[in-house]
Amino acid sequence: MFATPAEIYEHSFRVHSALTALREDDREFTYREVWTWSDATMDQLRELGVAEGDVVGIFAGNRSEWVVVDSAIARMGAVKTPANYMSALDTVAYQLAFAQAKVLVTDYELGSALLPHLDPEQAPIIVQLSDPAGRRIPGSVPHVAPPGPEVEPRSSGYRGNPDARANLNFTGGTTGKPKAVSHTARSVAAALYIQMIEAEIGVGERMLLMSPLAHSAGAFAIAGIGRGANIRILSSFDAQRTVDLLVGDDITWTFMVPTMIYRVLDAIDELDTLPDLRLRTVVYGAAPMSPTRLEHGLRVFGQVFLQLFGQTEAPQFCTRLSKLDHDLARPELLTSCGNASLFTEVMVTDDEGNALPPGELGEITVKTPFALTEYVGNPEATAEKFWDGWVRTGDMGTMDDKGYVYLKDRRNDMIISGGFNVYSREVEDALTAHPQVAQAAVIGIPHEDWGEAVHAFVVCRDATAEAPAGSLTDAELIDFSRGRLANYARPKTVEFVTELPQTPFGKIDKKVLRAPFWKDLSRAIG
């Protein structure tokens, strides 16, 4: 088995050279063309002083160059640090400075916006990707153009050390400065293999990717390249555009976060008839999906869904809920995130790291070959993250006697109301079971008697800016939750909104929701 992403790229470039690798609205590239462009990019990075072990940042929108540059970094033994184009610019600047990036590959729009946030004393060399309008970031170096068909591709000659650092990823930073997560070439390669297998990516798969390539979509793009897939890249998500491509482009595989799936389902509901699709796999993750909307999706698309559960520290597939487990005849499984993926062990532990018996609540803990090696420069957080080789995820849950894991909450999201533990996901699932509710997010807010009271933010299907509650009232929704939730877990207050804030990683940003309620108090949650 190849032990580095460089070897995975090299093998796929050779074996699949005649196939189409990447497609956009107005461009497409074969594997051979990506190969020669990767060669040229390696040459350019070397000319700019990048050597094995140096850090190269990527801060760019979704486009084919993202994969080209990624392959060049891997094939020369450099270290990649990807920055999400949805992240705050100060956060991106912090990431690049902390990583000591020698070069930053970016596009005009993002690079121009970022430039004032960079410390001139620490700023990396900027390589700017091509711009349709011919605009240039001052002082930048233009990214090398794709070579012509007369140029022969070549092996990089690099196999490298599987135990050397390959990726420096950063956590979401919802509770302070983002932490730098170090992954070796071996752990990155292991994660890619798991994704190829568990996400059921086949040779020639027609993939559609439209969430940021700096996050999960990029990992799936690389896994797809490793399998010889045909990858359609969208610059951003649009529900109607997605439906059009699913129908007209014979897409067989896609990845979406739950909010995206909800919007696609709503767009399909507007059609007179269900479209005829070749879609056979929809991978979802990054946030819990409402069981009610999941049942809706199964009725529309069929048994094509596959859920992942992981985190930056142990990416993508710690557990997976398979297509067969997405079974309307077994609705209890639709609230699970599945069981352990290949090469991975999962247990639920108490506060001392001891395994708990089935059904007992604790922290979900995993042992996997694609785990981080450390939080760079943060030995205390590294020590806290590991228990004798097991990675603490920070997610609370239970495991049944068949090994299925049920997420209850993030440790920091648990609400304690009147001495009772309230798990926001259970409340959110109960609320989204109402036919008029599209989304719900639940937090704890200050209460004189109970410490915290359960407060729900709700997005209704028929919401408008003028009437965010649509035809629903808070009293009706709270009454609906009776019988579904214990009295202490039912929302005490409901706030109707037209949308919920999201982190750059597709999760509902509860820190933003909590802030107005806790800002003037000495104790804050999360």
Phi and psi at 309, nearest 5°, equal -140, 125
Residues 370, 494 within the same domain = no
Partnered with residue 461 across adjacent β-strands are none
209, part of any domain: no
46, part of any domain: yes
212, part of any domain: no
Torsion-angle region of residue 403: left (phi > 0), alpha (psi -120 to 50) or beta? left
- Give the end of a domain, one of 153, 169, 185: 185
**Rounded Cα distance, 423 and 397, in Å:** 10
Q: Which of 28-32, 90-94, 522-526 has the lowest mean pLDDT?
A: 522-526
Average pLDDT over residues 132-153: 96
Q: Residue 507: its pLDDT value, please?
A: 77
Average pLDDT over residues 94-114: 97
> Which candidate, 512, 397, 412, places its Cα nearest to that of 457?
512
H or E element in which residue 512 lies: helix 510-518
Matching residue, tokens 């922290």: 363
Q: Residue 106: its pLDDT value, please?
A: 98
When pLDDT is cut at 50, 70 and 90, the band that residue 446 belongs to is confident
Residues 248, 367 within the same domain = yes
- Would you give the DSSP letter of residue 1? -
User: Between these two residues, 125 and 482, which has the higher pLDDT value?
Assistant: 125
**Rounded Cα distance, 379 and 360, in Å:** 31
Residue 486 sits in a domain of what CATH number?
3.30.300.30
C-alpha 472: how far from chain center: 32
User: Between these two residues, 504 and 50, which has the higher pLDDT value?
Assistant: 50
Residues 364, 486 within the same domain = no
Average pLDDT over residues 65-69: 98
> Which candidate, 84, 85, 75, 67, places its Cα nearest to that of 50?
75
pLDDT tens-digit map of 111-138: 999 999 999 988 999 999 999 999 999 9
Residues 155, 279 within the same domain = no
Average pLDDT over residues 146-167: 91
pLDDT tens-digit map of 371-387: 999 999 999 999 999 98
Residues 158, 243 within the same domain = no
191, part of any domain: no
Q: How far is CA 490 from CA 288, 422, 482, in A?
A: 19, 9, 7
Residues 44, 165 within the same domain = yes
- Give the end of a domain, one of 359, 389, 410: 410
Q: Residue 451: its pLDDT value, please?
A: 74
194, part of any domain: no
Q: Residue 282: pLDDT above 90?
A: yes
Average pLDDT over residues 218-241: 97
The residue segments making up the domain with residue 510 are 414-518
Average pLDDT over residues 183-210: 97
Q: For all residues of the chain together, what is the average pLDDT? A: 91
Q: Residue 520: its pLDDT value, please?
A: 63
Q: Residue 525: pLDDT above 50?
A: no
Contact 296, 282 (CB under 8 A): no
Q: Residue 63: its pLDDT value, please?
A: 97
> Which candidate, 254, 252, 219, places its Cα nearest to that of 234?
254
Residues 437, 325 within the same domain = no
Residues 261, 331 within the same domain = yes
H or E element in which residue 479 lies: helix 474-481
Q: Residue 524: pLDDT above 50?
A: no
12, part of any domain: no
Q: How far is CA 225 from CA 127, 206, 228, 250, in A?
A: 24, 11, 5, 18
Average pLDDT over residues 55-80: 98
Q: Residue 350: its pLDDT value, please?
A: 93
Residue percentage of the chain with pLDDT more than 70: 96
227, part of any domain: no
Q: Residue 314: its pLDDT value, please?
A: 94
Residues 506, 428 within the same domain = yes
- Helix, coil or strand: residue 139: coil
Q: Residue 109: pLDDT above 80?
A: yes
214, part of any domain: no
Q: Residue 159: pLDDT above 80?
A: no
Average pLDDT over residues 459-487: 89
Q: Residue 146: its pLDDT value, please?
A: 97
Q: Residue 70: pLDDT above 60?
A: yes
Residues 65, 169 within the same domain = yes
Q: Residue 35: pLDDT above 70?
A: yes
Residue 333 sits in a domain of what CATH number?
3.40.50.12780
Three-state SS across 3-58?
A: CCHHHHHHHHHHHCCCCEEEECCCCEEEHHHHHHHHHHHHHHHHHCCCCCCCEEEE
pLDDT tens-digit map of 384-436: 999 888 999 988 899 999 999 998 877 767 787 866 778 788 888 889 999 99
Q: Residue 418: its pLDDT value, please?
A: 66
Token pair recorded at residue 372 = 């981080």
Instruction: Please state the domain count of the chain.
Output: 3
Residues 390, 262 within the same domain = yes
pLDDT tens-digit map of 296-351: 999 999 999 999 999 899 998 999 999 999 999 999 899 899 999 999 999 999 98
Q: Residue 1: its pLDDT value, please?
A: 64
**Rounded Cα distance, 282 and 268, in Å:** 15
When pLDDT is cut at 50, 70 and 90, the band that residue 449 belongs to is low
- Give the end of a domain, one of 410, 443, 465: 410
Q: Residue 254: pLDDT above 90?
A: yes
When pLDDT is cut at 50, 70 and 90, the band that residue 522 belongs to is very low
Residues 50, 168 within the same domain = yes
Residues with Cβ within 8 Å of 157's Cβ and at least 6 positions away in sequence, in order, are: none
Q: How far is CA 208 from CA 126, 251, 321, in A?
A: 29, 7, 21
When pLDDT is cut at 50, 70 and 90, the band that residue 508 belongs to is confident
User: Between these two residues, 508 and 73, which has the higher pLDDT value?
Assistant: 73
When pLDDT is cut at 50, 70 and 90, the band that residue 56 belongs to is very high
pLDDT tens-digit map of 6-29: 999 999 999 999 999 999 999 999
Average pLDDT over residues 234-246: 96
- Would you give the DSSP letter of residue 297? H
Q: Which of 276-285, 301-310, 476-485, 515-524 has the lowest mean pLDDT?
A: 515-524
